[in-house]
Chains A and B, each alone.
Chain A
Amino acid sequence: MNEVSSPVESDRKPGVKAGRRLAVVSSMDTGQAPSPDALVEMMAQVAQRRDRQAFALLFRYFGPRLKTFFLRWTPSSAAAEDLVQETMLTVWRKASYFDAGRAGVATWIFTIARNIRIDHLRRQRDPLSLQPEPDIAPETVEDGVLGAERDARVRSALTALSPEQQTIIRLSYFSEKSQTEIADELGIPLGTVKSRTRLAMNRLRALLEERS
């Protein structure tokens, strides 16, 4: 983290918050995923204090994952990184709109990335529309006094699936690939992809309803 100079460092209050942030740093260094609460804490630092170290932590955690996400839609590593950058700059700009009661950090960042992908598609098709319209894309994370609870419910339902089922859901969610292409990628017959997708989705829905 040393390369990040933080002009707000000097006015940070010592005490509990700083200690908690250090705990976050060390857990990231050991390669463990930060907890949902730790992510919310980082977002709060970014929103309230414009804290660049917290932003850098979010970037280090989500950047490489967002890159994988965008690589599903574009083959170019440089283009994917540009989209990651655009996503993270939007996170910085709109940080004050993040509401932990409505959605978890990962869900919020996912919807930003999704909208940026939709926007990117539009610019590709119509290069003359230079005016960005970031808010035309749907922003549907709402209604959730229970947003954080819902995120936890979905997460726990997802991890209750077999690794095979998780893979098939990830592939059908994160790409425009047809089931035929997914069959090729996994080296299994098309019929198996179809039945496995259906079973996985039904099981996920059943798990979600059990938990609601």
Chain B
Amino acid sequence: MRYAAGALAAAPAVVVTAHLAGCPVCRARVGEYEALGGALLEGTEPTQMSATALNDTLAMLDDEDAAAPFAPPPLAPVEIEGVRLPDALRGCDIGRWRWIGPGMKMSRVGVPEDPEANLILLKVGPGRALPDHGHVGTEFTYIISGSFSDRFGTFRPGDLAEMDDDVEHQPVVDKDGECICLAALEGRMRFKNVIGRMLQPIFGI
């Protein structure tokens, strides 16, 4: 619902957008919440507009008509070192892969509308475990390729894992290949072990 309302922070919104592209069930759900937005808008108490508002706007319609007709520019695919990424990342600033641990690489993603957004791409080798962690705030993870499992089940390409702040889990990448995923945090990760805590200030996750 926060996504449809436009109230979800920028980084999680990117992750959710990536998932929606391939999930008609969730798109229908978002559509319903958008319809709720429309119904609420109609039911909202009106606030008096200034006397000139309408005519000011009408006067601007000529400029609108004179301007070039709206046409979206052709869009290039988004990638990182040859790996195709979700279109939802278009416009984001994608860094290079950086080593963060054995079999583990990370790339920070800059989101234009929120410089403090906590959005990362993770590439983890087959069979590798991510550090056991909890979260401050909800974590949103979209699986781009490969798969991982935790105590909640297995997550495959296109899946969205949404973990509340009271959840602690230890995702392990399945043995059949490396896993690339896109993760957003509303708050910061809370690592349980010492290594994780030491890495945290260095990598800013």
* A143: chain B residues within 8 A (beta carbon): 24, 27-28, 31
Say yes or no: A125-B113 contact (C-beta < 8 A), given A50-B65, A93-B64, A208-B32.
yes
Identify which of B55-63, B134-142, B153-161 touches chain A. Answer: B55-63
B23-71 at interface with A (beta carbon < 8 Å): 24, 27-28, 30-32, 34-50, 53-58, 60-61, 64-65, 70
In the bound assembly, the distance between CA atoms of A118 and B24 in angstroms comes to 24
Complexed CA–CA distance, A50 and B64 (Å): 11
Check A170/B44 contact, CB under 8 A, given A55-B61, A111-B37, A138-B20: yes
B7 at the interface (CB under 8 A from A): yes
Chain B neighbourhood of A179, CB < 8 A = none
Q: How far, in whole Å, are A147 and B128 apart by their CA atoms in the complex?
A: 44
Point out the residues of chain A lying under 8 angstroms from B35, CB to CB: 103-104, 107, 150-151, 153-155
A interface, over-half SS: helix
What is the total number of residues of chain A having a CB less than 8 Å from a CB of chain B?
A: 74
Q: Is B41 a contact of A85 with CB atoms below 8 Å?
A: no
**A89 to B39, Cβ gap below 8 A?**
no
User: What is the minimal beta-carbon distance from B47 to any residue of chain A, in angstroms?
Assistant: 4
Give B151 Cβ to nearest chain A Cβ, in Å.
26
Is residue A117 contacting chain B, with contact meaning CB distance below 8 A?
yes
Chain A residue at minimum C-beta to C-beta distance from B28: A143
Q: How far is the CA of A140 from the CA of B4 in the complex (A)?
A: 9
**A30-77 with Cβ < 8 A to chain B:** 33, 50, 52, 55-56, 59-60, 62-69, 71, 77
Is there a chain A Cβ closer than 8 Å to B91's Cβ? yes
CA distance A119 to B42 in the complex (A): 22
Tell whether, in the assembled complex, residue B49 and residue A84 are in contact, meaning their CB atoms are under 8 Å apart: yes
Spell out B's residues near A (CB within 8 Å). Answer: 1, 3-7, 13, 17, 20, 24, 27-28, 30-32, 34-50, 53-58, 60-61, 64-65, 70, 72, 90-91, 112-115
Known: A52-B58, A92-B61, A110-B41. 9 other contacts (CB 8 A): A84-B49, A85-B60, A103-B35, A106-B41, A107-B37, A114-B5, A138-B17, A140-B31, A173-B40
9 residue pairs, one from A and one from B, having the closest CB atoms: A107-B38, A64-B46, A122-B113, A106-B38, A114-B6, A154-B35, A110-B37, A67-B47, A110-B38
